[in-house]
Structure 1
Amino acid sequence: MELTHLKYFLEVAKNEHITKSAKNLCIVQPALTKAIHNLENEVGVPLFKSSGRNIKLTPYGQFFYEHLQPLYDEIEKLPQRLRDMANSEVVHVNLNVLAASSLVTSAVIRYKALHPEINFDLIQNESTNLYDVGVTTVAGDARVSPECDACYRFEEEIFLAVPNRDAYKKKDHVSLRQMTGEKFIGLAGTKQLRSICNEFCENLGIRTDISFESDNTSAIKDAVAAGIGVCFWPEFTWGRVERRKIKLLRITDAQFKRDVLVTLRKNKTDNRPTEDFYRFLVTTFARTSSRSRRR
């Protein structure tokens, strides 16, 4: 059955008048009559019967009309739904945040204020590749997935955050071996950074005594300031510390550094919004890193 013939049938069924229907469809009456006859021949039953100067639906026609109308309505909606899908794809950015979540969240908020039409879907999933922009961390020279279309690496030193008290006031560096017996605050919820720090300590033969865990940087700051323990602290992605209460000491036992990776995947037909946010996020990391090193 041709879609055009189904459209003609629905119009005639609605009006029960050939001349009026032909006018509405902007075709000549003989062409419409022929199309209806062709449709009846194809389905094998009469769909209309004469009723004076008008026509009426047969029981077959009524059944056909009732079942065809909702199907045809759905077919007519398909092009717009496809356009809606395309538009939705353009304005959605899928963001996988496995590191520097505070910095990334702040960047998203600022970008959203500039581009309210962009929607963000944030996930934290190490095992998925279904995202547009990813933020992760690795130690050393770990390779980036070849599936990524672009990647920026930012080197970040990891300091030891300690309370700004007499024992540390004159220090700007420290050996972890000197911290034996000191209580450490664990990095709950920051699996990748925690693994990197644990690996550094294991390579040095050092075991940290965890007295408290939190995945909230504000809570960690308060705990360090209160003297509850010390903590490994990334150079710039966790934001500034209140120097009156906390000191960041450089670790001298080894190079305590990690790489923060901002990656891009071109998954869409139109990747311009995704690429624009990716550049914005890279710029945010670069500026924050630069400010941190000037302090």
Structure 2
Amino acid sequence: MELLQLKYFVTVARFEHMTRAAEELRIAQPALSKTIKTLEKSLGVLLFDRHGRNIQLNQYGRAFLKRVNQALSALEDGERELDDLSGETFGDIKLAVVVGSNLLPGLLSSFRKQHPNISFNLLQHFSKSVTGKDFDLCISSSPLKLQGITNITLLTEEIFLAVPIEHRLAKRASIRLSEVSEEGFINLKHGKALRDRTDSFCKYAGFSPHIIFESDDPATVRGLIKAGQGIAFIPAISWGGSTGSSMVLLHIDEPECTRSIELSWTVERYLPQVARIFRKFTIDYFAKLALESENCQHSISIDTAGVE
């Protein structure tokens, strides 16, 4: 049994399609088929059920895949631990980003000013098949529900209601969410964590939001508000802070509208030194953002004191 055979097996198991797996591995399909058959012969069992051109992982394949993934992960951890023992601060960090992509350029550029030899492999399209072995660290808006994952809260941010400057409520400092039950909302699409959370706010306030625009891009949401096309929920920090003079952010008195930004990592695998360095930097960076936001909101509350 060879390491290359195991890596090929994992890819074929992922696709359950020999041609697509061969394309991913950039080898000829007959050569890949031969490698898998050689592996099965050495194990004494078939790992896939074959039905014409279709293949499917069977019970032996599923059991073997679990152990192979553990073995390959252990080997990768060993290589990264050896890199750390060399005493040099360099390497690659696998960073998954589910929320706060607007903050990512500032975070990474600030970090790389101090650590220019550390690079990043970014995962920004989080699918249901993602596991803890696919990243070193993950920034999300709720704790990840993955096996062997732990997390720390980076910050808790207020979620405002944003209205165009001409809106009937624009001169208010705060509102109850029930006051806008008949308004047209600009929202993220279903499946986004923020959308699920803001829908729950509306449900608590006794209504379902009337959606007139759906988008998966925060910049588009902001642009539509500025164009007077509706109102929307805007996270105070992770959506970029300043919104300009063409919209107003209103504090929501009821219900309390906040969300937490979390940093997660797996406790079942070795976390490289570069990832540990970045973890501490990220915690400090978000703490500074939270403090700046708190000071900004305090300033706004003083400026708007006495506003009807």
Residue type matched to 2:117 in 1? E
Q: Note if 1:202 corresponds to 2:212.
A: no
Alpha-carbon distance between aligned partners in 2 of 1:103 and 1:190, rounded to the nearest angstrom: 21
Q: Which amino acid aligns with 1:106?
A: G
What residue in structure 2 maps to residue 232 of structure 1?
233
Amino acid of the structure 2 residue aligned with 1:91: G
In the TM superposition, residue 92 of structure 1 has moved relative to its aligned partner by 1.4
**What letter matches 1:252 in structure 2?**
D
Contact residue 132 and residue 265 of structure 2 kept, 8 A: no
Distance 2:199 2:230 in 1: 17
RMSD, matched Cα:
3.0
Which of 112, 117, 136 is the matching residue for 1:132? Answer: 136
1:146 positional shift: 7.5
In the superposition, relative to structure 1, how do residues 186 and 84 fare at CA in structure 2: closer, same or farther (>3 Å)? closer
In structure 2, list runs of 5 or more residues that go unmatched: 1-77, 297-308
Q: Report which of the two structures shows the higher radius of gyration computed on alpha carbons.
A: 1
2:285, 2:191 → 1: CA distance? 21
Could you tell me which amino acid in structure 1 is paired with residue 214 of structure 2? E
Say whether the 8 Å CA contact 2:94–2:122 is kept in structure 1. Answer: yes
Q: CA deviation at 1:247?
A: 1.1
> What corresponds to 1:284 in structure 2?
285
**Structure 2-normalised TM-score?**
0.60
User: Which secondary structure state, in structure 1, belongs to the residue aligned with residue 201 of structure 2?
Assistant: helix
Amino acid at match of 2:232: C
Q: Write the distance in 1 (CA, Å) between the matches of 2:267 and 2:120.
A: 16
Q: Is it true that 1:183 corresponds to 2:199 in the alignment?
A: no
Q: How far apart in 2 are the matches of 1:110 and 1:266?
A: 27
Contact 1:221 1:241 in 2 (8 A): no
Further displaced range: 251-260 or 163-172:
163-172
Partner Cα distance (1:145, 1:85) in 2: 24
Structure 1 unaligned regions, length at least 5: 1-81
1:183-236 CA distances to partner (integer Å, 9 max, x unpaired)?
A: 111113871111111122223321111112223322222211111111101121
Q: Is the 8 A contact 1:132 1:266 kept in 2?
A: no
Cα 1:257–1:270 shift into 2, 3 Å:
closer
1:132 aligned partner, one-letter code = D
Q: Which secondary structure does the structure 2 equivalent of 1:252 belong to? A: strand
Structure 1 residue ranges (4+ consecutive) displaced by more than 6 angstroms after TM superposition = 82-85, 142-146
User: Alpha-carbon deviation of 1:85?
Assistant: 10
CA distance in 2, matches of 1:224, 1:256: 19
AA partner of residue 198 (structure 1): D
Change (3 A) 1:85 1:269: closer
The code of the aligned residue for 1:280 comes to: F
- Correspondence 1:156 to 2:160: no
- Residue equivalent to 2:116: 116
- Of 262-271 and 224-233, more deviation after overlay is shown by 262-271
The aligned amino acid for 1:104 is L
CA contact (8 A) 2:162 2:232 kept: yes
Structure 1 residues 130-176: Cα deviation after superposition (integer angstroms, max 9, x where no partner): 211111113xxx79867345523421111101112262342011122
Q: Partners in 1 of 2:190 and 2:81 — Cα distance?
A: 34
Identity over aligned pairs, percent: 25
